[in-house]
Structure 1
Amino acid sequence: MGGLKEALVIDREELKDVKHLPSADEIKELAEVAFNHTLAFCNENKHALSNLLSSNGDMQFYQMIIEVANNEFDARVPYLFGDINIKEANVKSSLPFSFIKTLYINTSVNLLMLWGAAPDSLSINEIKSIAGLIQTKSPVELIQIYKSYLN
């Protein structure tokens, strides 16, 4: 867990160079650098992570990963979306911020779990590209992108 946290902190440093709120396309491009160390760490430890996160793995480890991801999401929000008053947003919005956060985190963690289950199926660069897409595209848009590759 310590190595994962360190990699996330190093990757988050890349976001400090962005001096404006990035557009969705810029966020997608930032995935190329904002996950470098994290994905390299996951790749180096893919067998252990795969075992711990498998259906026969350690549920407590999974919960620890979710907690780390929650903390990292909170740390990155100001760089990517500006200051959001989460309590106020949850009160005024019909789409609570906590739902958005949970969807984002679970999608990201599940991407790593899928990759871990078949670690040689995709390269780190392909995973970065997918990470950028899942951060910025709706499921409907992702299906359209997928269908365009089939044609």
Structure 2
Amino acid sequence: MVDIRIQNTKSNLISALLTCLEEKRINELKVKDIIKTAGVSSRTFYQYYSDVNSLLKDAEDTFITDYLKSVEKDRENLADIDLNLPVQEQLEAVLNSTKNTIAFCFERKKEIQVLLSDNGDIRFYNLIFKAGCDEFIKRMGEVNDIENLNMTEKEQMKLTISVQVFVHSMIGLIRVLLNYSDRLSPYDVRQNILVFLRNAPISNLSLGSAEDN
């Protein structure tokens, strides 16, 4: 069972880290900056973390764990999508299965913006990117029997590239939309994503033909 006091102390230190990262780059931060902002002693800090980077790693890993929980909740709704509907209606249905994830992004807006900023480190982006790519493939598996598609090596490469480009674009879009979260509701964000998808080259996500050059 998790000790609430330990959890609260770690949350306080992570919050202090995020506040400090709004002013300084991660490689400029010192433990003294964190403990001053958190209002704790150095002894308390070193009881849980060895340095600033270990605190950052915990903050990033905690975020990803919580993010995946919201994503998994949304994935369960994919089973209700009617694949006989026109593609655009399927897209709308898919977006309706992102409510938990979008709400999570709103709730954890500060973490996303700070950790993805120039003051953070590339590890967080890589974690988000990998999680997004993995989730995309899982969701494709919900509606397609990917393992039995018998794709050629070239087709597998095209699929991988398409997924990576798509996920990279979506991360950028979410970052931009969160900048307007004081004026956009989660529903508005989903609608903006839908507009993006409607105008995006969705065909790039197809496997294509083995004879393509």
Same fold judged by TM-score > 0.5? Answer: yes
2:174 to 92, 107, 112: 112
Q: Which has the higher helix share?
A: 1
Quick check: 2:74–2:99 contact (8 Å CA) kept in 1?
A: yes
Q: Which residue of 1 aligns with 2:115?
A: 52
2:78 to 9, 15, 18: 15
Matches within 5 A, 1:23-42: 23-42=86-105
* Unmatched runs of 5 consecutive residues or more in structure 2: 1-63, 202-213
Q: CA deviation at 1:97?
A: 1.0
Higher relative CO (Cα under 8 Å, sequence separation at least 6) belongs to 1
Quick check: 2:116–2:124 contact (8 Å CA) kept in 1?
A: yes
Structure 2 counterpart of 1:126, which letter?
D
1:103 to 165, 171, 177: 165
Q: CA deviation at 1:86?
A: 9.2
TM-score normalised by L of structure 1 = 0.76
Task: Quote the Cα distance in structure 1 between the aligned partners of 2:121 and 2:183.
Answer: 23
Deviates further, 16-25 or 51-60: 16-25
1:84 to 139, 146, 164: 146
1:125 to 172, 179, 187: 187
- Pair 90,53 (structure 1): closer, same or farther in 2 beyond 3 Å: farther
Quick check: 2:83–2:90 contact (8 Å CA) kept in 1?
A: no
The alignment-based identity, stated in percent, is: 24
Q: Which residue of 2 aligns with 1:143?
A: none
Instruction: Work out which of the two has the higher radius of gyration on C-alpha atoms and give 1 or 2.
Output: 2
TM-score normalised by L of structure 2 = 0.56
Matches within 5 A, 1:57-68: 57-68=120-131
- Pair 50,78 (structure 1): closer, same or farther in 2 beyond 3 Å: same
- Pair 85,52 (structure 1): closer, same or farther in 2 beyond 3 Å: same
Answer yes or no: is 1:4 the counterpart of 2:93.
Answer: no
- Pair 133,91 (structure 1): closer, same or farther in 2 beyond 3 Å: farther
Report the RMSD for the aligned CA atoms in angstroms.
Answer: 2.7
* Unmatched runs of 5 consecutive residues or more in structure 1: 140-151
Q: Which residue of 2 aligns with 1:149?
A: none
Task: Quote the Cα distance in structure 2 between the aligned partners of 1:75 and 1:21.
Answer: 20
Q: CA deviation at 1:19?
A: 5.0
Deviates further, 50-59 or 13-22: 13-22
